[in-house]
C-alpha cells in the first residue's frame, strides 16, 4: 500500500516512523518548518520499544500528484480543516482515510468533504510527545492502532490494511465494532482530560487529596452517561479499567490536553469536551463537572495568541 502520513507529530511521526522502519511505502505530508527539521536531523524516535533515526520521504501539499491507497490522519482536531485542504489531492475513489483524531466531530467533517465510503474508523493508543529537540518520545510502552469499517463489515480493503499493519513494530487490530471502541476511548479521554485539566495535576496528585478519587469517579460516570445516552454504553470491563486507572495512588497518568496546557499550547477542548457535552445535552444528560472543565479550558484557550 502507498501510505500518506499527514503530519509527523507525536502520533503520526511515531506510527509512520515504525511503518517506514518496517519497510512500508510511507510518505509524510509535513509543513515547511517540520520538513526542514526532518531533512536535517531525520525522524528521531525515543522509545522503550527501541530508538530509531529514520530518513523519510517527504512531500508538500503542492507536490501531491496521484492518489494514495491510505491517508493516515493524526493531526490535532483544531488543525483538521487546513489538513483536509492539504491532502485533498491524495484522495482518489479507492483511497481510505484512516483518522485517529479524538472524539467524533472529525468523522462528520471528513465524510462531508470526501464521502462516506472514504472514511474508516480508527482508534490510537499511544502516549508520546515531541520534545524540545524535535524528537518523538514515547512516554509509556503501550502502542496500538485499531481500525474497521464504520458499519462493522469486514471488507477486502480492511483485510489488506490489516495485513499491511501486522508486524510493523506496534500492536494492530481489525475491529468489527470500531464505533463502539471510538466512543469508549472518547469516554476515557473526556474523563481523564476533564479531571487532570480541571485539577491541574496528575491522577496520583488528585487522588492524594481527600475527595479526589471520588471526584475522578464522578467525572467518569458523567462521561459514561453521555455515551450510553448516545447508544454506545461502555462495557463494564472498560469502565472498570478506567476506574482503576483514574484512582490509582501515585499514578503519573495525565491527559494529552493537560500536557498541552502545561506547555501553553492550544488544546482540543471543543472536540474532546465541547462536542461531547453537546451530544449528551441533546439526550437530556447533565454534565456539570465536564462543563466546568470545558469552560475552564475555553478561558485558557481564549487567552492564547490567535494562530
List, by residue number, the catalytic residues: 185
Residue with cell 462521561: 223
**Residue 230, SS3 per DSSP:** coil
Cell reading at 21? 522502519
Distance in angstroms (rounded) separating the CA atoms of residues 122 and 182: 7
What does the chain come to in residues? 307
Strand 25-29: give its sheet, edge to edge: 57-59, 25-29, 2-6, 70-73, 96-99
CB 170 within 8 A of CB 144: yes
Q: Which of 226, 160, 153, 169 is nearest to 54 (CA)?
A: 169
Cell reading at 272? 474532546
Cell reading at 179? 464505533
Amino acid at each position: 500500500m502507498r501510505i500518506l502520513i499527514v503530519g509527523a507529530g507525536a502520533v503520526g511521526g511515531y506510527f509512520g516512523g515504525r511503518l517506514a522502519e518496517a519497510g512500508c511505502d510511507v510518505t509524510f505530508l509535513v509543513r515547511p518548518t517540520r520538513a526542514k527539521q526532518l531533512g536535517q536531523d531525520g525522524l528521531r524516535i525515543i522509545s522503550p520499544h527501541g530508538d530509531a533515526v529514520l530518513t523519510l520521504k517527504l512531500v508538500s501539499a503542492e507536490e501531491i500528484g496521484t492518489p494514495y491507497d491510505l491517508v493516515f490522519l493524526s493531526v490535532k482536531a483544531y488543525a483538521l480543516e487546513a489538513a483536509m485542504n492539504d491532502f485533498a489531492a491524495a484522495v482518489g475513489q479507492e483511497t481510505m482515510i484512516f483518522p485517529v483524531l479524538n472524539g467524533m466531530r472529525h468523522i462528520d467533517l471528513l465524510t462531508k468533504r470526501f464521502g462516506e465510503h472514504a472514511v474508516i474508523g480508527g482508534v490510537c493508543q499511544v502516549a508520546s510527545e515531541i520534545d524540545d529537540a524535535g524528537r518523538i518520545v514515547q512516554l509509556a510502552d503501550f502502542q496500538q492502532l485499531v481500525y474497521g469499517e464504520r458499519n462493522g463489515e469486514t471488507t477486502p480493503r480492511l483485510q489488506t490494511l490489516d495485513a499491511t499493519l501486522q508486524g510493523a513494530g506496534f500492536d494492530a487490530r481489525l475491529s468489527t465494532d470500531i464505533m463502539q471502541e471510538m466512543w469508549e476511548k472518547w469516554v476515557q479521554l473526556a474523563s481523564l482530560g476533564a479531571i487532570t485539566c480541571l485539577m491541574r495535576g496528575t491522577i496520583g496528585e488528585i487522588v492524594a487529596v481527600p475527595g479526589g478519587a471520588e471526584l475522578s469517579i464522578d467525572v467518569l460516570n458523567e462521561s459514561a452517561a453521555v455515551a450510553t445516552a448516545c447508544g454506545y454504553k461502555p462495557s463494564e470491563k472498560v469502565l472498570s479499567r478506567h476506574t482503576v486507572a483514574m484512582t490509582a495512588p501515585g499514578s503519573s497518568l495525565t491527559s494529552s490536553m493537560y500536557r498541552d496546557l502545561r506547555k501553553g499550547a492550544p488544546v482540543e477542548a471543543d472536540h474532546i469536551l465541547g462536542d461531547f457535552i453537546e451530544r449528551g445535552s441533546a439526550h437530556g444528560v447533565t454534565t456539570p463537572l465536564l462543563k466546568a472543565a470545558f469552560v475552564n479550558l475555553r478561558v485558557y484557550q481564549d487567552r492564547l495568541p490567535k494562530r
